[in-house]
Amino acid sequence: MAKIFIETERLVLREIIPEDAEAFFAMDSNPEVVKYVGIQPLTDISQSIETIENIRKQYEENGIGRWAVIRKEDGKLVGWSGLKLIKEINNHQNIHDLGYRFTPEYWGKGYATETSIAVLNYAINSINLNEIYAYADVENAASNHILRKLGFQEKETFFDEGDQCFWYELKKENFKL
């Protein structure tokens, strides 16, 4: 049974397991889903399997990672949300990055905000992080709106994989939700 990390009113955030590969492939092979995340749509399920292995390695090595988001009402995997330790990005080293991704049929339902609040509470109150970072393509209006609503401060723009992104920072003392 997969380890559950967090429960919200509507969702369960649990570890990502190899059996999630099919759902991940369905999500990440959709061009709309990966439009702003710097990757091409996946073409083979082996790519999802490799991604899941890398996520599970984060659990083992760093005690954190992205988590599967499951709807309580029907047990359906609707996306992922969580933290990732990034060794080097935008001239920063060893930062904790907040990220999320959902299948289009679940966009606009508040799941990214709901899970992000839960993840940030966990990051600040359970593992005592003092700052969390995030970045989003400048054209991804929905994600940028969510990050600002959560209290992230836009610090600069930078290029990631050729895409211009906003770089955000959230200090522990500025997290109010």
pLDDT the model gives residue 11: 98
For helices 21-28 and 45-62, angle between their N-to-C axes, nearest 10 degrees: 110
The pair of three-digit structure tokens given for residue 38, joined into one six-digit string? 């710097």
- Largest Cα separation within the chain, whole Å, is 43
Q: How many C-beta neighbours within 10 Å does residue 169 have?
A: 17
pLDDT the model gives residue 1: 61
User: How many domains would you assign to the chain?
Assistant: 1
Show the low-confidence residues of the chain (pLDDT under 70): 1-2, 177
pLDDT the model gives residue 177: 67
Task: Decide: 60 and 128 in contact? Cβ < 8 Å.
Answer: no
Distance CA 117, CA 134 (A): 14
pLDDT the model gives residue 176: 73
Which amino acid, 46?
S
CATH code of 153's domain: 3.40.630.30
pLDDT the model gives residue 58: 93
Which amino acid, 88?
E
Cα atoms in the 13 Å half-sphere on the side-chain side of 128: 0
Name the residue range of residue 143's domain.
4-174
How confident is the model over 47-58, as pLDDT tens digits?
999 999 999 999
Specify the DSSP element, H or E, that contains 166: strand 163-171
Whether the model clears a pTM of 0.85, i.e. scores above it, the answer is yes
Task: Decide: 48 and 24 in contact? Cβ < 8 Å.
Answer: yes
